[in-house]
Structure formats: structure tokens, C-alpha cells
Amino acid sequence: MKMDPAICDPTLVNRFFDQELGPDEYALMSEHIKHCPSCQKALQDAEAISALFGTALDKELSRAKLERVEVRVLAFIHRTKTPWWLKLGHLFVAKRFYVPATAVIAGLILYFSFLAPPTSVSGPSAIINSLKGNVGSVMILETPKSHQTILWFSEPLMSGDEDNGIEENQSTVSTYSKRLCLMS
Amino acid sequence: MSDEVDKHLGDESTLVSLLKQGQEDAFRVLVRRYETRVFSIAYGITLDREESLDIVQEVFLKVYQNIHTFREESRLSTWLHRITVNLCLNWKKRWKRRFRWHHQPLERDQSGNDLKSGTEAHYPDALYEKKEFQKIFWDRLNELPEKTRAVFVLKEVEGLSYDEIAKTLGVRTGTVSSRLFYARKRLKESLKQYLEEGKNS
């Protein structure tokens, strides 16, 4: 920063007082102040304000009963020693836990929403190795990812009168269809 | 015990580590090391002794409750300064809301003078022997906007650089420079008479 020593700049005096000037600026300002009564006064005033504040604060500090603070703080700490469950809570509140966890959850949601929506392929309702009975009909469904064979067959409805020999007359017993679904 | 601990806790990171472990002696050391500085900042901003003592207490309790969040990216003192200034500024807000309190201009006589100081007054200690002057000085400081006062106090109490003050208060360095300049200018103007007296004596 270029500085004209002939110009009295109070802001520069302020920064000079606070030692916030670079070495070159400081040297220039220092030289300028030697010959400038106005800047000398500004500097003296800044020093005086600082001294007044320091003296005022010392007086106030001598009146303040700071030892009470120490007693109160330590008493509080003693009363509320952090229990282990709160320390555990701090772990979960910590960013190192919830930031990666949130990222993983967000990633999973995105993946399943757009890239690989879960297919609801129902498994076979039964796997059969052998079958006795009347097969009503067979349906074979093929999709790119699954192969399903669906069998409908008929079996007598158990009416509870089997002991009475009614089973001989199966034609009079109503039947219902049962679906078996095979998947390969 | 704490004196022994204090000797071994010159290193700030060791102190922080023990504070995070919840060691009572470490807190004792922390309080003893920083209570005067925290009180000075609090008093410089609030200008209320009892309130400042409460704020000092609250600062250390906040440190105790939140030390696990302190990541040592800044110095412990910077963190303490930030907590202190925030509590002080919030206290002012609470106070204003509750009592509709505003900065009131001081009562002055017609000449604009508050104190007819005697010729025996010396600067600044002797000047301070006069109780009235103490009140006048704090009242003049109280006339400054509180954010300006916070900058002034951090500079005068802690001797922080403009950059450090800016970091503590979350403002730009230029703002710190201008607030500090404004604070001194206002104080010089309002205490002109006493500054002149001091020089003459």
C-alpha cells in the first residue's frame, strides 16, 4: 500500500497503534508521526483510552468475586457427571456417525428408486415332486427373469362324512380348485 | 492437586484431552486460567458485574457440556471468546426484549460536562480515584453500539489481532478495523476533557 507521509490518516494511526501495518507501512508511519503533531496526539489519545480502560477494568476485577464462579462451576460438574448413556449419545450425535449414515441411506434410496427397483416376484406356493389326482389345467408363464408353472387340479372336498361311506359317491361331492405355482 | 495438574497442562491439547475425559481437575485449571479474561470481556460488553459473573459461569458450563464438539481447529481461547461474546450479545437482546431497555444518553449539565475534576487529578490512576469518573468512563463505553464494544474489548483485553477478532466474531477484518477506529474516535470525543486534563497534569 502506497502511503504519503504528508497525509495524516487517523485510520492508519489506529492501525499503527494496533500493530496492524506491514513493515514498510510501519516504518513510513513511524517516520511520519515523528514530525506530525496531529498524528502524535491521535496516538497519545489511543494510548490514553487503552490505559483508562485497563485501569477501569482492574478496579472492576478487584470487586468481582470470581472465586464464587469456580465453586459454582465445579459443584455443577460434580453434580452432573456425564453418565455413560449420554456419552453413548454423543457418539451417535457426532458428525462422524450421522454424516456417513445419512449418505449411505440416501444412496440406498436412490439405488432402489431409480436403478434397481425391487421386483416383487412371489415365490412358488408349493414345490411338488409328485402329484396324484386330476390335473385340471396347466399354465406356464415365462418372464425374462422367472419361469412359473401353474397347475390347477381338483380334489374332493372333505365334508366330514367320509366314515359314512359317502366317499364312494365322489361325483356328488363338490370340488374346488387349488392352484400350485412352481417356479424354475 | 489442581496446581500439579496445571503444571502439566501447559500444552493446550493435553488440557482439551483431559477436559473431554471429564476430569474435574482439568476443569478447575480451565476456570482458573480463563475466568479473569472471560469476566473482563463479559464486563466490557455488558457493563454489569453480577450479570458478567453469571455469564462467566455459563461460559464454563457450556464448555463442560459441549467440549466433545470442540474439534481443535481453533485455539481453546478463541472458542471461549466466541461463547462469551455470543452469551453477552444474547444477554443484551434478552434484556432489551424483557424490559424494552435502550441505550439512554447520559444526563449532562448544560456545558456537556459530567465532572468538574480538580486540579489534583492525575492521569489515569489519580483520575480514577474519583468515583464519578469511573461511572463516566463506563457510561461512555456503554454509549457505543454493543458490537463495536465487543471489538474494542477483545482488542483491549486480549490484544487480539484484527484477523483473530474477525474470526471470533464472524465478521470481516475491514469491519473490525472500522469498528475499532469508530470506538476510539467516539471515546476520544466524549472523554476529551479528561484526556486533556491528564496530559496537562
Averaged pLDDT of chain A: 73
Which residues of chain B make contact with A63, given a CB cutoff of 8 A? 49
CATH topology for the B2-99 domain: Rna Polymerase Sigma Factor; Chain: A (1.10.1740)
User: Could you tell me the residue ranges of all domains in chain B?
Assistant: 2-99, 125-200
Q: Maximum CA pair distance of chain B? A: 61
Q: Do residue A57 and residue A72 come from a single domain?
A: no
For residue A80, what are the domain limits? Answer: 68-115
Q: With 90 as the cut, is the pLDDT of residue A5 above it? A: no
Name the more confident of B31 and B97. B31
Which residues of chain B make contact with A76, given a CB cutoff of 8 A? 61, 64
Q: Do residue A53 and residue A74 come from a single domain?
A: no
CB contact under 8 A, B39 and A66: yes
With H, G, I as helix, E, B as strand and everything else as coil, classify residue A135: strand
The span from the CA of A33 to the CA of A22, in Å, is 16
Q: Do residue A16 and residue A47 come from a single domain?
A: yes
- The tally of domains found in chain A comes to 3
Q: How far is CA B192 from CA B112, B184, B198, in A?
A: 11, 11, 10
With H, G, I as helix, E, B as strand and everything else as coil, classify residue A126: coil
With H, G, I as helix, E, B as strand and everything else as coil, classify residue A139: strand
pLDDT at A128: 66
Task: Tell me the per-residue pLDDT of B87-140, one tens digit each, with 9 for 90 and over.
Answer: 988 876 665 555 544 444 444 434 444 433 333 334 555 555 556 777 888 888
- What's the pTM value of the predicted model, to 2 decimals? 0.61
Say if A127 falls within a structural domain: no
Within an 8 Å CB–CB cutoff, is residue B175 touching chain A? no
Task: Tell me the per-residue pLDDT of A112-127, one tens digit each, with 9 for 90 and over.
Answer: 887 766 565 556 666 6
pLDDT at B129: 58
CB contact under 8 A, A73 and B27: yes
pLDDT band at B182 (very low <50, low <70, confident <90, very high): very high
CB contact under 8 A, B49 and A49: no
Q: With 80 as the cut, is the pLDDT of residue A46 above it? A: yes
pLDDT at B198: 62
A5-14, A59-68, B192-201, range with greatest mean pLDDT: A59-68
Nearest by CB: B36 against A44, A54, A61: A61
- The pLDDT > 90 percentage for chain A reads 5
CB contact under 8 A, A81 and B157: no
Within an 8 Å CB–CB cutoff, is residue B125 touching chain A? yes
Show Cβ contacts of residue A69 under 8 Å, excluding neighbours closer than 6 positions. Answer: B31, B35, B39, B53, B56, B57, B60
Averaged pLDDT of chain B: 78
Say if A129 falls within a structural domain: no
Which residues of chain B make contact with A73, given a CB cutoff of 8 A? 27, 31, 57, 60-61, 64
Task: Tell me the per-residue pLDDT of A51-110, one tens digit each, with 9 for 90 and over.
Answer: 888 888 888 888 888 888 888 888 888 777 656 666 666 666 666 777 888 899 999 888
Which residues of chain A make contact with B161, given a CB cutoff of 8 A? 18, 20
Nearest by CB: B35 against A50, A70, A76: A70
For domain B125-200, say whether CATH 2.60.40.2130 is its number: no
Q: Which three cell numbers stand for residue A28?
A: 513510513
Task: Tell me the per-residue pLDDT of B35-57, one tens digit each, with 9 for 90 and over.
Answer: 999 999 999 998 888 889 999 99
